[in-house]
Amino acid sequence: MKHPAIAFREIPAAMAAGAAATDPALGLLPLWKLSDLYPARDSPAFTADTDKAEKLALAFEEKWKGKLADAATKTGAGGIGEALKEYEALDDLLGKLGSYAGLTYFSDTSNPANGKFYGDVQAKLTDLSSHLLFFALELNRIDDKLMDACMDRDPAAGHYRPWVVDLRKDKPFQLEDKLEQLFLEKSMTSAAAFNRLFDETMAELRFEVDGEKLPLEVTLNMLQESEPEVRAKAAAALSKTFGENLRVFTLITNTLAKDKEISDRWRGFKDIADSRHLANRVEREVVDALAEAVKNAYPRLSHRYYAMKAKWLGMEQLNFWDRNAPLPETPTAVIPWTEAKETVLSAYRGFAPEMAKIAGRFFDEEWIDAPVRPGKAPGAFAHPTVPSAHPYVLVNYMGKPRDVMTLAHELGHGVHQVLAGAQGALMCQTPLTLAETASVFGEMLTFRALLEKTRDRRERKAMLAQKVEDMINTVVRQIAFYQFERKVHTARKEGELTSEQIGELWLSVQGESLGPAIRISEGYETWWTYIPHFIHSPFYVYAYAFGDCLVNSLYAVYSQAEPGFQEKYFELLKAGGTKHHSELLKPFGLDAADPSFWSKGLSMIEGLIDELEALDRA
């Protein structure tokens, strides 16, 4: 049983009820209202739902275990359709409990009480899930013809056909019941435990710059400052602290890579990334074609762009900490929260009023947590929770132009999650490859809306440069991350890796992807340590490149004023996990299995670099 798996901290009472933090430059920054899920972790409502979930799980097991083959011969009461409906209701309830615990924990991972609450809830959910594990396994053992006939005959079962068909793709990698139960129960003391160790270690790290000890998010943000010495000091602080904690991150990486290798071996996966491809419902050949296309484009994209940027900044080579430095033309004014909100909603409204209306609810109904604060999870995400509730968005807003784009990105996810929620708990979750579609499209809408308003040549150059950098970070950098993970997991099969070995693998892919215009000096060999995707979702990262290239192709169709584009786009989002990417892209005339598909997406990035070069000559 899958639950929305984003973890989180205890919020003070005012925060839990929904509130706002005031920043002199940014204005009122919203805090999410988790009371929409539960009033508090010790509330009667949370306790009652926990007790209810336990009773329902035990009753479900008693009612259906060992009886699904017989149920497949029935229609209506006692049939598979009834079982699926009850299972979906349980999935929603367990997901709601897990979401609340996770969002609470990630609000402040440094709070021990939050860690205990999250750990206790995860343990409880794992225990309850062990009583439901039989369902998918037993369902997959039903003969294909019998199952098809059941879904044809019984409308209640037929409703869940996409989920059942999807589930049966896991059948070749399914173990016998006792082993599956062991894997599930041991996950709490293996992968989940090391994920939590990573989160709590990262939340506690401090990076000293000019005598001030800063959290990760603030220190990383200094790499976007205009003063070279500020960027250099931030990079030195990051390298120093990463280096001091290298042993624990090396242990985590080795342990999780070995844990995955054991699981893959038992299940019979041939390639180290095949389990991720299966989860994403994407063929290995499609991902290989994407990775190869991006790798071949390194010279035309990142190598070419960074050479141009070095010249703009008056340098022969950029230091690795100058990669995201702003150009002299970049506006330095801090963007207040209200302006960021209107910028994104206006761009969404220009595409489709319904899109802006849904995104507006995140602001109006307090579904966003925006301020930077100690212990809060770094980065940004949109958590879908469950269809009976609503999504939440976390950002760390500091008023940079990139923060506005991040807000547009996460709200794109949020809109997607709201629309897909109508599919129900079992079929609303979109594979990761398509989950990035709405987020990247939201970014693109916001960027294009801002660019159209910009008449000043210097400002236009700064905006284009920042967009190119974001796209390089999304496509080139993420495929380099994917190649790094492949190297680490492959090498781990031969034995435990030292910190130095992991650092060498990191430098090899970074040097290849960034190109000769970036000087990779001492200290950068430890920067693999802070990337959470390597820990939480091995091989997730190619989904960003997949999504960006896909959206570039989608946007090209949109910009050609394709009739009915908005309606077809909303149908894609509403589909959730009910359709394969080939089926969803077909109405737009796109096919991810076609090798030229990726070239089309990459050519848009190349076109923006061409425009920058033309502006530079003007």
For 484-504, the pLDDT digits (tens) are 999 999 999 999 999 999 999
In the prediction, which pLDDT does 297 show? 96
Give 7's pLDDT tier (boundaries 50, 70, 90). Answer: very low
Average the pLDDT over 386-399 and give the result: 96
Strand 392-394 to 381-383 pairing: antiparallel
Mutual orientation of helices 337-351 and 437-453 as an angle, nearest 10°?
Answer: 100
In the prediction, which pLDDT does 600 show? 85
- Asked whether the beta carbons of 593 and 285 are under 8 A apart, the reply is yes
In the prediction, which pLDDT does 54 show? 98
In the prediction, which pLDDT does 14 show? 29
Closest CA to 126 of 176, 178, 62, 192: 192
- Asked whether the beta carbons of 207 and 237 are under 8 A apart, the reply is yes
Burial 170-199 (b: 16+ CB within 10 A, else e): eeeebeeeeebbebbeebbebbbbbbbbbb
Bridge partners of residue 21, in order along the sequence: 29
Give 23's pLDDT tier (boundaries 50, 70, 90). Answer: confident
Q: Residue 594 pLDDT > 80, yes or no?
A: yes
Query: pLDDT tens, 259-271?
Result: 999 999 999 999 9
Bridge partners of residue 207, in order along the sequence: 214
Q: Residue 218 pLDDT > 50, yes or no?
A: yes
Task: Indicate the SS3 state at residue 375.
Answer: coil
- Asked whether the beta carbons of 398 and 221 are under 8 A apart, the reply is yes
Task: Indicate the SS3 state at residue 393.
Answer: strand
In the prediction, which pLDDT does 615 show? 85
Q: How many residues does the chain have?
A: 618
Q: Residue 2 pLDDT > 70, yes or no?
A: no
Q: Tell me the HSE value of 217 on the side-chain side, using a 13 A CA sphere.
A: 18
Q: Residue 177 pLDDT > 50, yes or no?
A: yes
In the prediction, which pLDDT does 220 show? 94
- Report percent pLDDT > 90 for the chain: 81
Strand 318-319 to 207-209 pairing: unpaired
Q: Residue 213 pLDDT > 60, yes or no?
A: yes
In the prediction, which pLDDT does 5 show? 38
Give 19's pLDDT tier (boundaries 50, 70, 90). Answer: low
Query: pLDDT tens, 91-148?
Result: 999 999 999 999 999 999 889 999 999 999 999 999 999 999 999 999 999 999 999 9
Round the average pLDDT of the chain to a whole number and report it. 92
In the prediction, which pLDDT does 20 show? 64
Q: Residue 433 pLDDT > 90, yes or no?
A: no
Average the pLDDT over 518-546 and give the result: 95
Bridge partners of residue 381, in order along the sequence: 394
